Amino acid sequence: MRIINKLSAIAIVATMFSCVNQKADVKSLETEIDSASYALGLNVATYVKSNFDEANKDLFYQGFRNGLDSTNLLMSKKDVGVVLSSYFQKKQVAKMKEQQEKAIKEAEIKFADVKKAGIEFLEKNKTKKDVKTTASGLQYIVLKEGTGEKPEGPTTKVKVHYHGTSIDGTVFDSSVDRGTPSEFALNQVIKGWTEGVQLMKVGAKYKFFIPQELAYGAQQKGAVIKPFSTLIFEIELLDIIK
């Protein structure tokens, strides 16, 4: 947004100057106004060069001249902010996506052993007695079946007790240890939870083995949950909150 505001301000400043005939380049700055004017030009050019290096320079110069004399405008002044906002928001989204993709690639290399360990764990775990696997790859064991109603969908708010560990048994979060149940809508948690809790009836207790792609993926969460970590949760569905 700072880029958008800065360029919008540049456009406004440009309209404050009156039109003068084009003159040959001066060789020296004689007055304070000369220096300030030249400094403003350098400032604009430097900012544009740093933040909009793909700019069509001919059209930039044309827009600047048109803004100075307020004639031959190819765009209304009220649309300037809209155009700049739209363009730089898209550019910002693209940059963020590029940064995220770069971070994921770096994490893939740095935490390859964590990802591999999770895959191997799940491959072995799915062959164990009573372990069920859904189409998404979520694995679970029914520790206790419930008799109440099921969540109606991902927007359902539930009350649960849970105990979360890594595949080596390290506890990273536990409402059971805190002694206080948690309440949240199922679309506010990781995908493995969103899918898994919807399989349960009130009163049920399941143990879930959640692949990294249904957990936090390439994100680091605290000291225990490293990127690409497979997670294990014991979840008891206590109630559905109306």
From CA 224, how far away is CA 36, in angstroms rounded? 56
From CA 110, how far away is CA 146, in angstroms rounded? 42
- Among 111, 125, 140, smallest CA distance to 229 is for 111
Q: Catalytic residues, which ones?
A: 162, 172-173, 190, 216, 233
Q: Which two tokens stand for residue 144?
A: 């206790």
From CA 67, how far away is CA 90, in angstroms rounded? 25
Fill in the DSSP letter of residue 225: B
Phi-psi region at 77: left, alpha or beta (left = phi > 0; alpha = psi -120 to 50): alpha
The answer to whether 103 touches 167, Cβ cutoff 8 Å, is: no
Q: Which two tokens stand for residue 149?
A: 């109603």
Q: Which two tokens stand for residue 36?
A: 């300030």
The answer to whether 155 touches 185, Cβ cutoff 8 Å, is: yes
In sequence order, what are the beta bridge partners of 132? 140
